[in-house]
Amino acid sequence: MVLYVCEDSTEGILCGVYDAWASRLGHDRVGLALAGAYNYEMFTEYRPVLTDRAKAQKVERAVRGKISERAWRWVYRATLSREKEKADAVYRFLIHGFHIGEAVTQCLQIPQVHALFALNRAVACEAHHQKEFLRFSQLPDRVLFARIGPKHDVTPLLMPYFCDRMPSERFVIWDAGHERAGVHVKGGLWYLLAGREAARAAALEKETDAGRYALLWQIFFDSVAIPERKNEACQRTHLPLRYRPYMTERFSRS
Amino acid sequence: MLIQEGLSLEEKLKILTDAARYDVSCTSSGVGRRGKDGFLGNSRTDGICHSFSADGRCISLLKILLTNQCIYDCRYCVNRRSNDTLRTAFTPEEIGTLTMEFYRRNYIEGLFLSSGVLDTPDYTMEQIYRALLLLRREYRFNGYIHVKAIPGADPALIEMTGYLADRMSVNLELPTAGGLRTLAPAKTREKILKPMRQIQLGIARQLEREGRLESRGIRMDSIGREPSLPDPASALEEGSGHLKTGRPVLAEGSKSPEKGRPALMDDGGSREGRPRAIPGKSVYGNFGLGRVSAYRPYFVPAGQSTQLIVGATPESDYQMMAVAEALYRNFGLKRVFYSAFVRVNDDSLLPELPGGPPLLREHRLYQADWLMRYYGFAASELLDEARPNFNLFLDPKCDWALRHLEQFPVEINRAPYETLLRVPGVGVKSAVRIVAARRRSALRFEDLKRIGVVLKRAAYFITCSGRMMTPVRLQEDAIAAALLGEERRRLPFDSSGLYRQLSLFDDFHLQEGEKSHGSLCV
Ligand code: SF4
């Protein structure tokens, strides 16, 4: 068994796919793992994967051209998952994908297809929840700032969405868990920051002013509920507790 | 009327939100529009909920009244003239600023603006129009706007407003003309249906201009030549005339297929008188343009909706569903919302409702509404005159399936899409997936699980390549008992009262089950 050990990023995983495929060892004898996220086993050879943009792009083009845009979206989202087995899941899915072609995304009965579908769905779902529940507050100069704590690394999915809806706003989305920041400075161009750069963006949080609109929002939020229909269990199913610390509105405790 | 001057924005927002909350529709769905330079906002076809209030309902839009002053005195309404409450109004600027600042912070998807009737319907509609014009032109807002059309207002004003809004609604509120006469004496069926019809025609013409009528299953010839249309107003009136004798609204429709046929859609494929189910789409044709460009104005691209109050007047579920069905078929509505009656006024003509608003009934009506729009069920299949109310203990689809066991089991690997849809535990998504996946290989029970079928419910109604999941074929009672246990866990209520009712029913059922076979209706 040969395990290709790749970096935990979209490009890293795609390069892992490339190397494993190019090895021609046979699909049963190769696998993918994320660096630092596997247990050593005897009789397994570990080969580090070098992340290289050109290789990753080749894989991306092949997926989009030979399978489908939809398959590519699934793969892309899956690479943002927090699950450790995602790299191998992508590889196993692509084996079927290159064999079946476009119809692969309809074959949920195939366990490896379903596994990738499930990863993709969990990430898409998290991104959707963030689009719903993420809250901006305002920095001096009308810059908007949001702190989020998503399970999966969804900032790259949020940025194009908010850029489209707020092309004239400058904003920062800071993912405190993954320590990444997305930054938009007008005109639809956005950047993803990591490391020290991201930490500088995070420091902006101290400067936000909760402000009048947060209060107005709280008034609206409290008033719009119909007292005779109070149903906190239902509220909890739709709006899980883990999102609430990041939100502007305060939820009353019964 | 106490009109308070000099209120702060905070105070106004509280008053005008309190006054708006009983309108239940708060969706931001139905239109997809990209952002544009220099403007704030875009819109997604499936809509976005931004929060959930303490009553568990979605908050998507800034739902406020322009004013809670009103010249009318509808008995069920908090804002009725005779109520001694504080009255105020927003300025168009206040509405614009609140919408923009809330939207920037991702609190909302847009604005839902409604209003009490101030002075005259025309004056009120004009104020609404001005507020929207300011928001779109001056504040450059490109997000979602849902706005009320005020019955009795000049059609020109409604038309102009419709080009600034995404969705418009006129609330029918009470399903029968008789109900309206008692509880909302100033309103009549005709007055409410008139703007509804105007908006329907406006949307249809917009679709025609875009060359999209045909693909939506809508026939312009039946809309254009008005006389050839069955008069929906009188069809609705006709039914309500029978209210006293307990005959359902539109009972005619279920007997003579000619009359019950959708006026505005071609349902050619329905030999059994059912509308055709189109995967993932409403069977009533999609009224509303849906995807639009951000650079041109469109007339009500997200379609039209209305609201029915549940339980303020004594109509049966069948009558409610028949009215809803007629609204979908004859008025091209995109959505009908159901609002469990909340007794905000102490009025001898209003029912007491000691158990609180009829939430479970409302829940069943929504489920049935869904079955009509996406599953191809006709109201008359779900209920009839002999059985005019939904089973509170089972969802309408399980209930229907139990009463039609002769149509089951359904073979998963062969049944057409429409038939799959009728299997309990199979939703629109899983039916679509089944049809796609079985092309590749025959599906087994474990495959269905991956596809998203709820086997706990579906197991009793399906075969995979000729096999049932359990070897014993269960009797109706046993299936019903199993489904009931499952249903209890899925209900979105926490009400202990309801659970008490359910366990009482179980006892009842255990005793009755041996003697009489079958009907679960209580
Ligand atoms: S017209 Fe509308 S706001 Fe006025 S009393 Fe009737 S329902 Fe209430």
With contacts defined as CB-CB under 8 Å, which chain A residues touch B18? 223
* Strand blocks (E) in B90-155: 110-114, 144-148
Alpha helices in B335-475 (DSSP H): 359-374, 379-382, 396-403, 417-421, 428-437, 445-451, 455-458
pTM reported for the whole predicted model: 0.88
Q: Domain check: are B112 and B159 in the same one?
A: yes
Least CB-CB distance to A109: which of B9, B36, B443?
B443
Decide if A226 and B58 are in contact by the 8 Å CB cutoff. Answer: no
B203 and B133 together in one domain: yes
Burial class (CB in 10 A: 0-12, 13-18, 19+), B2: exposed
**Cβ within 8 Å, pair B441-A168:** no
Q: How many CB atoms are closer than 10 A to CB B351?
A: 13
Is B519 inside any structural domain?
no
Pocket flag, ligand 1, residue B79 (CB < 6 Å): yes
Pick the residue from chain A with its C-alpha nearest to B53: A225
Structural domain for B13, as ranges: 9-248+269-351+363-382
Mind listing the pLDDT tens digit of every residue in chain B (522 residues)?
Answer: 667 788 999 999 999 999 999 998 878 999 999 999 999 999 999 999 999 999 999 999 999 999 999 999 999 999 999 999 999 999 999 999 999 999 999 999 999 999 999 999 999 999 999 999 999 999 999 999 999 999 999 999 999 999 999 999 999 999 888 888 899 988 888 899 999 999 999 999 999 898 888 777 776 665 544 422 223 333 444 443 333 333 333 333 333 333 333 333 333 333 344 556 677 778 887 788 889 999 999 999 999 999 999 999 988 999 999 999 988 888 889 999 999 999 999 888 999 888 889 999 999 999 999 999 999 999 999 999 899 999 888 889 999 999 999 999 999 999 999 999 999 999 999 999 999 999 999 999 999 999 999 999 999 999 999 998 887 667 778 888 888 877 766 666 544 444 444 444 443 333 333 323 322 222
**Distance from residue B435's CA to the centre of ligand 1 (Å):** 48
When scoring A96, A135, A184, A231 by the number of chain B Cβ atoms within 10 A, the one with the most, hence best to mutate, is A231
Q: ipTM score of the complex?
A: 0.95
Kindly state the tokens that stand for B292.
């639009």
Map out the domains of chain A as residue ranges.
2-125, 134-207, 210-251
Tell me, yes or no, whether B276 and B378 share the same domain.
Answer: yes
Query: Are B367 and B417 in the same domain?
Result: no
The reply to whether residue B105 touches residue A138, judged by beta carbons under 8 angstroms, is yes
DSSP A183: E
Report whether residue B350 contacts ligand 1, using a CB cutoff of 6 Å. no
Q: How many domains does chain B have?
A: 2
Give the ligand 1 atom nearest the CA of B68: 3
Q: Looking at the domain assignment, is residue B262 inside a domain?
A: no
- Is the Cβ atom of B157 under 6 angstroms away from ligand 1? no
Q: Ligand 1 centroid vs A155 CA: distance in angstroms?
A: 45
**By CA distance, what is B32's nearest residue in A?**
A165
CATH for B204: 3.20.20.70
Distance from the alpha carbon of residue B71 to the mean position of ligand 1, in angstroms: 8
B378 and B415 housed in the same domain: no
The reply to whether residue B38 touches residue A217, judged by beta carbons under 8 angstroms, is no
| DSSP-H helix ranges across B211-260 | 220-224, 232-241, 251-255, 257-260
B107 and A251 within 8 Å at the Cβ level: the answer is: no
Cβ contact A132–B50 (<8 Å):
yes
Please indicate, yes or no, if residue B60 is contained in any of the structural domains: yes
> Chain B residues with CB inside 8 Å of A223's CB?
13-14, 17-18, 21
Distance CA B491, CA B431 (A): 23
Is the same domain home to B156 and B195?
A: yes
